[in-house]
């Protein structure tokens, strides 16, 4: 019996976050509507059915269906019943299925079979869907699902993965900044709280591959139910239980024998590492109450061991006894910094002081500092010969272990056909150790992530659905360090381990810059960090089907809580450089002196030691939004997507009001009298007129705890999908989006509560010592520096509007915040092709304005370019009379405004200050502002994007994406200046001229192609070759599958900057007169870099130094000079051993960077540096192998 279905089914993106929608019409054979027909959708896994009754126009709708396989049945009195099986619904699908009924008896059943929908006919949204076929089969390093995000057009891979990389969620999308995507897991937030404009990764939690049903990526013209992100939304949906028990078990591992060595290790003869990785777990799902309550549970553990060989330099036996004579073999002489051995001539800036040499580089024990000598003996003994100076004399092997586990548990309960409750809890715990058995401090890093969501769906009527969701994600990141030596046991004072701000026993961070191994905290930062981020999401959405309109009304509230304590090095940073044992006190020769000798003598470098004191803070911020969306099926061929969203950010507040804002037009009430500016050499700089000082600090209060909100964020969105015929769809869309506010997650509020307490090693530039290791905080009013003084931590808000005056680490730069405005639009065509293939071509573009300009923290207090260029750096740096000194210390009977203990380290306590400091618009703040930027940056992006997909047929499926694009911006630096593999680069030259910073973005990649294939080889039982093969042969030759992912991507652009920056307020670049790329083969450049050859990545002949204080002509990034691009192939092969129906064992092997193609890192970009243009790094991993086994039942 024949049945004519009126139309093939069609699909679209963007129905909810973790569900699908089905709608359509029911007509008779003449095309007339059939009202009152019953449409039943039955989940094939759970056997739960939902019913809908067609309205007067014959329309029906199912608004919230779980992604699964369904069977549809349509009944109406006087017509034959139609049954359609194997309707596959994906995450976010909006599927139109129309039915045509024939006259007959309801008891007569007609079964319809048709192809699964391929075309998006009802939405303008762009993106991609990744099904379980790709999730399970494609080679994923460490089974990291985030790698599949790269299968979406418009996604640029900028993770900066080096040879230790295991993948991540670091990417730029459709012309937006790095790490700005929003990730949702079953509707709950799973991305970083500052992800809109900061951080270096998008995601906080990723479920196991075995727990995921599928996920979607949307990055242009998505509906108004999404917002507060950088223009991209990723929806991940976890698996649910079904009416039958199903499960899986798996074990994957990586071993050194499966890996290749990296390029530079091979070149230098260094053996490859012995990295080991184990990943194993299991899952189970099924009914608790059949056809009523279902569960799914998965658990996974990982273990890693990463051995590392330490090669470093420690004191020799002779040096521990004061004998540094071996340094003379290289011509390095040591000089005595004791005041009795210093000879000075001249006065003022003409003063010159030199030290007497140590005879034979031998330091007598009478000059040893007791603590310095003991620290020399805390080092292990040398175990390698080292070079002529003793460097490289210690080697040891250590293992950095890490382990973790995670699990997800999900329960779904159907109260009735109208009411359903879904709940999921996910937990992840990880721990990694950085043991330091030799150098005193070991560090343990921990991560605890919990993600919970509870969602209720209520079909109040067949056309009215109310969905309510509450979700919370909490991540705790404790970092603890353990010291093997109590610093007080060797003579350090107790104030370093027990003061008002800290009570922690840690060894100071003792560092050098001449090649010696540091002591204490060697990871750079920080002791005993405590960070807990909590994100709450409250979400309510009402969906109403009104005729051809599918209307949604919604509200969303996000609350961000951040509890943070990161004390840096609580026992202090102690730096010993060679300058203290060089001859010239004020202009030391880099070929003289030695850091270890300085430590033995107890002489810290001038202005290079201190302790950071800060409190534990608790911040809160929020995002609030309302929206309405109308998906209007205007005609049988045309669907309009109309949306409007209103949202605003509430910038952070601190629980105890330890926060501040700047008021640049507020009168401080302080008058600074006129003063004649005279330099130390007597040069007259004229009279600085007296004036009332404008520019104050506003301290947060209980009634004004945060800065002003941006309340103008109205986001209209419009889209259309027009079906030309059954195989062709035209789409267009445009919309306004707002990025997450920069101020949703901040930690410390400038110097008032966050102060670097300096250790004053000398008060006269190194001629006479002051602070010692035994007495690091002397009473400065004692000219001998022998009396212990107080530990002067942050002053808090005691000085009110004058808080932070006199420091080069000042107020927050703004008290008004804006959300970045993002305008997106697209135009495209989608065509269904034979053999279950579809081709999607789109023009996709965006423009963003009011983006945060991170470097503009200095912009409020710049010296204008004309003044800088006219005066030059020498004049700007000349010390002149300090008119502010009288405010900080008594001068000629003046009454200071500040307590000397609070401001003793301010530069304004000195009688002279650099002339340039007085030319700032706000000279009371002599340096840059720390904190919040101006919101003035912008970007533009244009692209041609192609997506091509083949659904599985004859065992073959593939998914590909191609992007041809151009990305321009005047700043890539938002809350974080990170640009993936390029690092922190692209700084501005002239802070007064942002327009001159416009160039291609650091994330610009003109072309990108990615192609994924999963192919069941056609050999074996049930396959074209060997359909009836016996089980023995099938066990050998049958059940094989080949999988691959190939990526080709243009390199990111390069920047070139001056190694000797001569711009006072800026970051100077050279002049350029041609293409700075030399065109030399990159392998020749790498070879020359290793061997000392002359081949260079850059053409220095077209580069030159600009005049002091003048910006160079080089752009921020060069479009015609780029790093090496990506050419990578991951391969996988698997073999299934069938035990019985739906039960099998799968063995597999994967190779990442299978052809072991090195991708070299960027060349050295500092023009004028001896290594300029040389390449010393590999930006990708060498070949890694992974083998595994899965058991599925």
Domain residue ranges in the chain: 20-117, 314-392+486-528+571-609+762-787, 1002-1192
Instruction: For residue 116, give every residue at least 6 positions away whose Cβ sits within 8 Å of its Cβ, in sequence order, or none.
Output: 9, 86, 87, 88, 951
CA distance 1188 to 1130: 15
Peptide bond into 526 cis (omega under 30): yes
CA distances from 157 to 231, 309, 651, 853, 1008 (A): 16, 31, 31, 23, 9
Report whether 752 contacts 685 (CB < 8 A).
Answer: no
Q: State both tokens at 398.
A: 């250590």
**Strand 182-185 relative to strand 188-189, pairing:** antiparallel
Question: For residue 1140, how many other CB atoms are within 10 A of its CB?
Answer: 7
pLDDT at 721: 94
SS3 assignment, position 866: helix
**Strand 509-511 relative to strand 573-575, pairing:** parallel
* Range list of H helices, 878-944: 885-888, 900-903
Q: State both tokens at 948.
A: 């091509």
Report whether 739 contacts 710 (CB < 8 A).
Answer: no
1036 — phi, psi (to 5°)?
Answer: -100, -50
CA distance 278 to 257: 14
pLDDT at 164: 41
CA distance 487 to 497: 8
Question: For residue 762, how many other CB atoms are within 10 A of its CB?
Answer: 20
Report whether 611 contacts 508 (CB < 8 A).
Answer: no
CA distances from 1076 to 37, 320, 983, 1119 (A): 72, 49, 20, 10
CA distance 1147 to 1151: 14
Assign 3-class secondary structure to 1117-1141: CEEEEECCCEEEEEEEEEEEEEEEC
Report whether 1153 contacts 1128 (CB < 8 A).
Answer: yes
1050-1083 b/e (C-beta count within 10 Å ≥ 16 → b): bbbbbbbbbbebbbbbbbbbbbbeeebbbebebe
CA distance 822 to 182: 15
Residue with tokens 């976050």: 17
CA distance 848 to 869: 33
CA angle 237, 239, 241 (to 5 degrees): 145
CA distances from 316 to 305, 363, 595, 597 (A): 32, 14, 13, 12
Report whether 422 contacts 410 (CB < 8 A).
Answer: yes
Specify the long-range contacts of residues 380-385, CB closer than 8 Å, at least 24 apart.
380/314, 380/438, 381/314, 381/317, 382/314, 382/316, 382/317, 384/311
pLDDT at 16: 52
CA distance 747 to 563: 9
Specify the long-range contacts of residues 1090-1099, CB closer than 8 Å, at least 24 apart.
1090/264, 1090/267, 1090/268, 1096/1163, 1096/1172, 1096/1173, 1096/1174, 1097/1163, 1097/1173, 1097/1174, 1097/1175, 1098/1056, 1098/1163, 1098/1172, 1098/1173, 1099/1074, 1099/1075
Burial label, 201 (beta-carbon count in 10 A; 0-12, 13-18, 19+): middle
SS3 assignment, position 45: coil
DSSP secondary structure of 1005-1064: -SEEEEEEEEEE-SBSTTSSBSTT--HHHHHHHSSEEEEEEEEEEPPPEE--EESS---T
Model's pTM, two decimal places? 0.88
Low-confidence ranges of the chain (pLDDT < 70): 1-17, 113-117, 159-170, 193-202, 437, 522-525, 741-751, 808-816, 854-860, 927-933, 974-986
pLDDT at 7: 36
pLDDT at 166: 40
Report whether 696 contacts 829 (CB < 8 A).
Answer: no
CA dihedral 122, 123, 126, 132 (to 10 degrees): -60
pLDDT at 1072: 96
Instruction: Please list the residues that pair with 1149 across neighbouring strands.
Output: 1133, 1187
CA distance 147 to 167: 7
Q: Tell me, rounded to whole angstroms, the distance of Cα 863 from its chain centroid.
A: 33
CA distance 196 to 181: 7
CA distance 1028 to 1017: 15
Q: State both tokens at 1023.
A: 């396959």
Specify the long-range contacts of residues 30-37, CB closer than 8 Å, at least 24 apart.
31/6, 31/100, 33/57, 33/58, 33/59, 34/58, 34/76, 34/79, 34/101, 36/76, 37/74, 37/75, 37/76, 37/79, 37/101
pLDDT at 488: 93
The dihedral built from the CA positions of residue 921, 924, 925 and 926, taken in this order, carries a sign that is positive
Report whether 826 contacts 842 (CB < 8 A).
Answer: yes
Instruction: For residue 783, give every residue at least 6 positions away whose Cβ sits within 8 Å of its Cβ, in sequence order, or none.
Output: none
CA distance 401 to 434: 8
DSSP secondary structure of 493-504: -GGGTSSSS---
Instruction: Please list the residues that pair with 100 across neighbouring strands.
Output: 27
- Can you name the CATH fold of 20-117? Immunoglobulin-like (2.60.40)
Q: State both tokens at 492.
A: 């350090």
The dihedral built from the CA positions of residue 968, 970, 975 and 976, taken in this order, carries a sign that is positive
444-482 b/e (C-beta count within 10 Å ≥ 16 → b): ebebbbbbbbbbebbbeebbebebebbbbbbbbbbbebe
Beta strands in 174-328, from DSSP E residues, in sequence order: 182-185, 188-189, 212-220, 233-238, 246-254, 276-289, 293-312
3-state helix, strand, coil in the chain (%, to 5): 10, 45, 45
CA distance 899 to 892: 17
Report whether 75 contacts 46 (CB < 8 A).
Answer: no
């Amino acid at each position: 019996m024949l049945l004519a279905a009126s139309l093939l089914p069609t699909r679209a993106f963007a129905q909810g976050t973790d569900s699908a929608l089905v709608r359509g019409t029911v007509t008779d054979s003449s095309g007339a509507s059939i009202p009152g027909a019953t449409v039943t959708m039955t989940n094939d896994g759970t056997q739960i059915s939902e019913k809908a009754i067609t309205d007067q126009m014959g329309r029906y709708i199912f608004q919230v269906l779980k992604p699964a396989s369904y069977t549809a049945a349509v009944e109406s009195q006087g017509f034959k019943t139609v049954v359609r099986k194997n309707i596959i619904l994906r995450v976010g699908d909006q599927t139109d299925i129309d039915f045509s009924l024939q006259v007959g008896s309801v008891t007569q059943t007609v079964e319809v079979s048709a192809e699964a929908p391929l075309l998006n006919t009802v939405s303008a949204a762009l993106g991609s869907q990744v099904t379980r076929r790709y999730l399970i089969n494609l080679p994923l390093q460490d089974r990291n699902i985030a790698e599949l995000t790269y299968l979406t057009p418009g996604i640029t891979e900028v993770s900066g993965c080096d040879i230790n990389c295991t993948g991540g969620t670091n990417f730029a999308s459709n012309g937006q900044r790095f790490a700005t995507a929003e990730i949702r897991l079953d509707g709950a937030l799973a991305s970083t709280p500052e992800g809109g404009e900061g951080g270096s990764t998008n995601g906080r939690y990723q479920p196991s591959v075995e727990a995921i049903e599928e996920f979607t990526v949307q990055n242009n013209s998505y509906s108004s139910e999404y917002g507060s992100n950088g223009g991209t939304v990723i929806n991940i949906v976890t698996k649910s239980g079904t009416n039958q028990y199903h499960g899986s078990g798996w074990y994957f591992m990586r071993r050194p024998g499966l890996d290749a060595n990296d390029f530079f290790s091979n070149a230098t003869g260094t053996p490859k590492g012995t990295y080991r990785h184990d990943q194993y777990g299991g899952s189970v799902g099924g009914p608790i109450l059949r056809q009523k309550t279902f569960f799914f549970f998965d658990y996974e553990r990982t273990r890693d061991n990463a051995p590392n060989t330490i090669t470093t330099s420690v004191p020799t036996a002779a040096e521990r006894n004061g004998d540094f004579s071996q340094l003379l073999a290289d011509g390095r002489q040591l000089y005595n910094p004791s005041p009795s051995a210093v000879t000075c001539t001249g006065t003022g800036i003409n003063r010159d002081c030199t030290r007497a040499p140590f005879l034979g580089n031998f330091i007598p024990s009478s000059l040893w500092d007791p603590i310095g000598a003991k620290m020399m003996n805390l080092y292990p003994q040398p175990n390698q010969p080292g070079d002529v100076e003793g460097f490289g004399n210690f080697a040891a092997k250590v293992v950095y272990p890490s382990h973790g586990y995670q699990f997800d548990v999900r329960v779904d309960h159907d109260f009735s056909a109208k009411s359903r409750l879904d709940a999921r809890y996910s937990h992840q715990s990880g721990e990694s150790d950085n043991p330091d058995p030799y150098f005193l401090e070991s560090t343990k890093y921990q991560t605890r992530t919990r993600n919970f969501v509870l969602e209720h769906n209520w079909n109040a009527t067949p056309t009215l659905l109310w969905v309510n969701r509450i979700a919370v994600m909490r991540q705790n990141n404790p970092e603890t360090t353990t010291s093997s030596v109590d610093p007080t046991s060797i003579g350090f004072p107790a104030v370093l381990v027990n003061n008002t701000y800290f009570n922690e026993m840690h060894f100071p961070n003792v560092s050098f810059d001449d090649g010696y191994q540091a002591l204490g905290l060697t990871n750079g930062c920080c002791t005993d960090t405590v960070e807990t981020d909590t994100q709450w999401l409250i979400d309510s959405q009402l969906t109403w089907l009104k005729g051809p309109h599918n209307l949604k009304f919604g509200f969303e509230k996000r609350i961000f809580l951040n509890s943070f304590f990161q004390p840096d090095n609580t026992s202090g940073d102690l730096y010993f450089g060679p300058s203290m044992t060089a001859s010239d006190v004020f202009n030391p020769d880099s070929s003289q002196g030695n850091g270890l000798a300085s430590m033995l003598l107890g002489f810290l470098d001038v202005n290079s030691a201190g302790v950071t004191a800060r409190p534990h803070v608790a911040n809160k911020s929020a995002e609030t939004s309302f929206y309405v969306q109308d998906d209007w099926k205007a005609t049988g061929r045309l669907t309009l997507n109309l949306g409007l969203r209103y949202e605003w950010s509430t910038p952070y507040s601190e629980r105890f009001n330890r926060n501040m804002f700047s008021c640049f037009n507020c009168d401080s009430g302080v008058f600074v009298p006129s003063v004649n500016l005279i330099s130390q050499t007597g040069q007259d700089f004229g009279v600085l007129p007296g004036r009332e000082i404008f520019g104050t600090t506003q301290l947060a209060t209980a009634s004004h705890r945060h800065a002003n909100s941006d309340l103008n964020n109205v986001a209209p969105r419009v889209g259309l999908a027009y079906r030309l015929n059954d195989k062709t769809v035209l789409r267009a869309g445009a919309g306004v989006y707002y990025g997450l506010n920069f101020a949703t997650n901040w930690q410390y509020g400038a110097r008032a509560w966050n102060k670097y307490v300096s250790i004053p090693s000398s008060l006269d530039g190194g001629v006479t010592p002051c602070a010692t290791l035994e007495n690091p905080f002397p009473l400065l009013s004692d000219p001998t520096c022998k009396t212990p003084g107080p530990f002067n931590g942050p002053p808090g808000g005691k000085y009110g509007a004058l808080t932070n005056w006199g420091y080069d680490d000042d107020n927050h730069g703004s008290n008004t915040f804006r959300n970045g405005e993002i305008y997106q639009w697209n135009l495209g065509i989608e065509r269904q092709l034979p053999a279950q293939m579809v081709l999607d071509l789109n023009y996709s573009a965006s423009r963003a304005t009011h983006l945060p300009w991170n470097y503009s923290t200095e912009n409020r207090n710049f010296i204008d370019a004309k003044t800088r260029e006219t005066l030059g750096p020498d004049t700007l740096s000349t010390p002149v009379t300090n008119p502010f000194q009288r405010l900080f210390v008594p001068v000629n009977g003046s009454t200071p405004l500040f307590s000397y203990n609070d401001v003793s380290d301010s530069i304004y306590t000195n009688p002279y200050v650099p002339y340039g400091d007085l030319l700032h618009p706000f000279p009371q703040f002599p340096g840059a502002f720390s904190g919040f930027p101006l919101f003035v940056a912008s970007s533009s992006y244009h692209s041609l994007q192609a997506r091509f997909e083949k659904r599985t047929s004859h065992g073959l499926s593939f998914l590909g994406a191609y992007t041809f694009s151009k990305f321009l911006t005047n700043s890539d630096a938002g809350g974080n200046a990170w640009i993936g593999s390029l690092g922190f680069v692209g700084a501005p030259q002239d802070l007064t001229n942002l327009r001159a910073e416009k160039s291609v973005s650091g994330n610009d990649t003109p072309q990108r192609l990615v192609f994924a294939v999963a192919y069941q080889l056609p050999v074996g039982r049930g396959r074209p070759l060997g359909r009836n093969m016996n089980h023995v042969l099938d066990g050998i030759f049958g059940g094989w599958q080949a999988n691959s992912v190939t990526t080709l991507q243009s390199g990111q652009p390069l920047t070139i900057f001056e190694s000797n920056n001569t711009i006072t307020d800026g970051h100077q670049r050279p002049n350029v007169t041609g293409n700075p790329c030399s065109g030399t083969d990159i392998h020749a450049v790498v070879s020359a870099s290793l061997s000392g050859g002359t081949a260079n990545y850059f053409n220095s002949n077209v580069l030159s130094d600009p005049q002091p204080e003048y910006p160079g002509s080089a752009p921020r990034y060069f479009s015609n000079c780029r790093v090496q691009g990506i050419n990578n192939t991951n391969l996988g092969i698997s073999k299934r051993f069938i035990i019985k129906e739906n039960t099998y064992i799968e063995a597999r092997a994967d190779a990442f960077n299978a052809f072991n193609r090195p991708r070299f890192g960027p060349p050295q970009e500092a023009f004028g540096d001896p290594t300029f243009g040389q390449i010393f790094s590999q930006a990708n991993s060498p070949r890694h192998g992974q083998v595994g086994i899965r058991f599925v039942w």
